């Protein structure tokens, strides 16, 4: 159910950045700001800055930034509404629901809340069952045999389902939960041939509670303890309104803080693997719970770290069958390493066999990047066979092609060439072929989808330029950001008697679109605000619910270093500031932006020239010469300051 606008505004007014951050890390005053070691990554010297005056935070190490609400979202790994509820509770603000909410919305909200309450009841019942005579002799003894401590049992809400057809059903109804809610929560089942027959889903099994990011129980996994081969080893909760397995990772609630601190996530397969690693002193571990890895799960990991180490059982056939998961992680922008255990062992069995210290050392010494891991996996069978060796090269390059960052791709091209013992150009050529084919396929698909409404454009014109050959766009992106920073910081100051910064800048870049999506989005909003007669200052953007835009703005207005107030007064040494000669600052910034746009256009034209036919060549060469002429004029102004 939606939180009312007035509640959100009250939270924004009351929430103090210093007060909120102090709940998680101790802050120390230095200059006008407060500083701490960042709660989002490991560091020895503080780079996490809090500005009480601006009510923002900014880490100059990892880049995290925002206001009090965004901080809670980042540190707790929750959404906007959950963060508002969290802060409302902290400040004693009564939460009002949106009066525009429909009866259907209210009913859906109430049902979801009822599901959470029923699932929490079930969790408590399963935990309590461990203390019963049956639970102690069967469930608790199983956990103790595996070396699970009482602390671990409580930490993961481990439990036991009684050997009864309706123990949970009767207990739930007695506690006031309806059969309908118990059914929708996946806790009980209904016979297909007799709808009146309802019975417990989980019986005579140990229970693993699955939590959401906020720690609420949302589902259960249940392991059988008998040797009955007719029974599946695990039974899991079905999908419900509050549980979608493709967007859940087992152990993430317990691991999220450790993942941030270690800046790494160990990815395993099952419940007991996660718990065994905790027993070995490793907390930054999650499991896909036996399901194939999904995009939703990868996005969850990326919220807390960019680095993943996949732990594999010592079974070559099984590893090959699950290699698609590595490609998905790479495609999701994660840096991937892998560890393989000795044949016949998995993370659970190996950690129990060798103990915590040896296990931790094994992970450190045997983690390899995905290229080395993949080459080793296929090395023996490819030895002495040129065809299989060529296939190994293709397998490796196909994985590299999944990486979205062109700089990281380039690094891996060099590394794979070295490890495979082949020339880098051969690897690069194969990579370019795969990337170009992917772009052609994407362009063709887009064209087919738009054929009904699109103009009759030749297919070749729809193909994107081969991005892998264009130099990195970081310089252009930085210049776009700098232009936007000046626009927001000084927009309403004058560069001449009758011209404001915003008027000059918007006029000069009127025919340009920023390549960086978030910068273009902010620029569009800036223009829209001006058109409405509003003043789009930094303060204006800090009140937007758009976390990405807000983070960018905070980064623009945050200063890593600040001069002491008494510096100039005491030492009589005056430091030049950009605002001292705003006209020149703005003019130079616009020229640098245009220079980088020209550089991009020149590079793209050179690529087109390489593949042009005779009819196109003359025209492209003319365009190239004109672009170089404009670039030369700007370079002449800057002299040797701007490099190629």
- 616-644 tens-digit pLDDT: 887 888 888 888 888 888 888 877 444 44
- Does residue 455 surpass a pLDDT of 70? no
Structure confidence at residue 462 (pLDDT): 44
Average pLDDT, stretch 119-143? 96
d(CA 224, CA 201): 12
Average pLDDT, stretch 589-595? 89
Structure confidence at residue 143 (pLDDT): 96
Query: Per DSSP, what are the bridge partners of residue 205?
Result: 161, 224
Structure confidence at residue 634 (pLDDT): 86
Structure confidence at residue 185 (pLDDT): 96
| pLDDT tens profile 478-501 | 888 889 888 888 888 887 777 888
Structure confidence at residue 153 (pLDDT): 96
| pLDDT tens profile 86-129 | 899 888 888 887 765 667 766 777 888 899 999 999 999 999 99
Higher-pLDDT residue of 183, 539: 183
Average pLDDT, stretch 34-41? 87
Q: What percent of the chain has pLDDT over 70?
A: 89
- Does residue 12 surpass a pLDDT of 50? yes
Instruction: DSSP for 111-138, please give it.
Output: HHHHHHHHHHHHHHHHHHHTTSHHIIII
Joined together, the tokens standing for residue 33 give: 């700001």
Structure confidence at residue 511 (pLDDT): 83
Residues 1, 98 contacting (CB under 8 angstroms): yes
Average pLDDT, stretch 169-178? 95
Nearest in space to 263 (alpha carbons), one of 313, 323, 334, 312 = 334
Please give the mean pLDDT across all residues of the chain.
84
Q: Which stretches of 454-532 are assigned E, i.e. beta strand?
A: 494-496, 499-500
DSSP letter assigned to residue 378: H
- Does residue 363 surpass a pLDDT of 90? yes
d(CA 240, CA 242): 5
Q: How many helices (H) and strands (E) does the chain have?
A: 30, 18
Q: How far is CA 209 from CA 18, 154, 179, 272, in A?
A: 36, 11, 21, 12
Nearest in space to 350 (alpha carbons), one of 276, 285, 284 = 276
Q: What is the helix (H) or strand (E) element at residue 151, kind and residue range?
A: helix 150-155
Structure confidence at residue 443 (pLDDT): 65
Structure confidence at residue 573 (pLDDT): 46
Phi, psi (degrees; rounded to nearest 5) at 207: -115, 135
Structure confidence at residue 468 (pLDDT): 41
Structure confidence at residue 281 (pLDDT): 93
Q: Which stretches of 395-507 are assigned E, i.e. beta strand?
A: 494-496, 499-500
Nearest in space to 417 (alpha carbons), one of 426, 408, 409 = 426
- Does residue 453 surpass a pLDDT of 70? no
Joined together, the tokens standing for residue 541 give: 């953007």
Nearest in space to 205 (alpha carbons), one of 178, 172, 167 = 167
d(CA 85, CA 68): 13
Average pLDDT, stretch 285-299? 85
């Amino acid at each position: 159910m939606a939180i009312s606008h007035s509640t959100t505004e009250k939270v924004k007014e009351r929430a103090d950045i210093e007060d909120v951050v102090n709940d998680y890390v101790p802050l120390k005053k230095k200059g006008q700001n407060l500083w701490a070691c960042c709660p989002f990554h490991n560091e020895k010297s503080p780079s996490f800055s809090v500005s009480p005056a601006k009510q923002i935070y900014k880490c100059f190490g990892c880049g995290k930034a925002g206001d009090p609400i965004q901080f809670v979202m980042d540190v707790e790994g929750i959404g906007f509404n959950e963060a508002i509820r969290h802060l409302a509770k902290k400040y004693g603000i009564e939460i009002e629901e949106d009066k525009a909410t429909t009866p259907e919305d209210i009913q859906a909200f109430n049902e979801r809340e009822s599901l959470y309450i029923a699932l929490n009841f079930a969790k408590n019942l399963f935990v309590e069952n461990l203390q019963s005579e049956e639970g102690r002799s069967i469930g608790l003894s199983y956990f103790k045999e595996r070396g699970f401590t009482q602390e671990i049992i409580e930490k993961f809400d481990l439990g036991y389902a009684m050997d009864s057809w309706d123990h949970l059903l009767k207990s739930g109804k007695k506690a006031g939960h309806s059969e309908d809610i118990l059914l929708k929560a996946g806790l009980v089942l209904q016979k297909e041939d007799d709808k009146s027959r309802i019975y417990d889903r989980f019986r005579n099994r140990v229970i693993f509670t699955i939590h959401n990011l906020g720690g609420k129980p949302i589902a259960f996994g249940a392991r059988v303890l008998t040797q009955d081969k007719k029974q599946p080893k695990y039974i899991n909760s079905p999908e419900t309104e509050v549980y979608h397995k493709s967007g859940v990772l087992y152990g993430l609630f317990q691991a999220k803080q450790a993942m941030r601190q270690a800046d790494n996530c160990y990815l395993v397969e099952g419940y007991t693997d996660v718990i065994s690693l905790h027993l070995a002193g490793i907390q930054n571990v999650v499991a896909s719970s036996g399901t194939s890895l999904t995009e939703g799960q990868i996005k969850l990991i990326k919220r807390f770290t960019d680095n993943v180490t996949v732990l594999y059982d010592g079974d070559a056939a099984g590893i090959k069958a699950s290699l698609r998961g590595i490609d998905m992680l790479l495609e999701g922008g994660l840096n991937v390493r892998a560890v393989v255990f000795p044949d016949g062992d998995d993370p659970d069995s190996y950690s129990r066999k060798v103990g915590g210290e040896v296990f931790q050392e094994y992970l450190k010494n045997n983690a390899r990047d995905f290229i080395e891991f993949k080459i080793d996996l296929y090395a023996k069978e490819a030895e002495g066979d040129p065809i299989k060796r060529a296939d190994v090269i293709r397998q490796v390059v196909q994985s590299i092609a999944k990486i979205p960052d062109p700089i990281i791709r380039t690094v891996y091209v060099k590394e794979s060439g070295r490890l495979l013992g082949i020339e880098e150009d051969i690897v690069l050529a194969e990579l370019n072929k795969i990337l170009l084919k992917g772009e052609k396929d994407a362009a063709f698909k887009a064209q087919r989808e738009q054929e009904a409404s699109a103009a009759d454009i030749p297919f070749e014109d729809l193909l994107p330029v081969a991005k892998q050959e264009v130099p990195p766009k970081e310089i252009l992106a930085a210049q776009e950001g700098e232009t936007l920073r000046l626009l927001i910081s000084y927009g309403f100051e004058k560069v001449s008697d009758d011209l404001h910064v915003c008027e000059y800048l918007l006029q000069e870049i009127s025919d340009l679109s920023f390549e960086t999506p978030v910068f273009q989005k902010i620029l569009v909003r800036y223009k829209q605000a001006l058109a409405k007669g509003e003043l789009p200052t930094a303060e204006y953007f800090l009140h937007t619910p758009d976390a990405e835009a807000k983070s960018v703005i905070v980064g623009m207005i945050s200063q890593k270093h600040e001069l002491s107030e008494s510096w100039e007064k005491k030492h009589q040494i005056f430091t030049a500031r950009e605002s001292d000669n705003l006209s020149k600052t703005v003019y130079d910034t616009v020229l640098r932006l245009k220079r980088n746009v020209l550089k991009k256009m020149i590079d793209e034209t050179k690529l087109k020239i390489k593949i042009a036919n005779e009819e196109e060549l003359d025209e492209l060469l003319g365009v190239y010469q004109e672009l170089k002429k404009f670039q030369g004029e700007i370079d002449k102004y800057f002299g040797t300051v701007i490099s190629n």
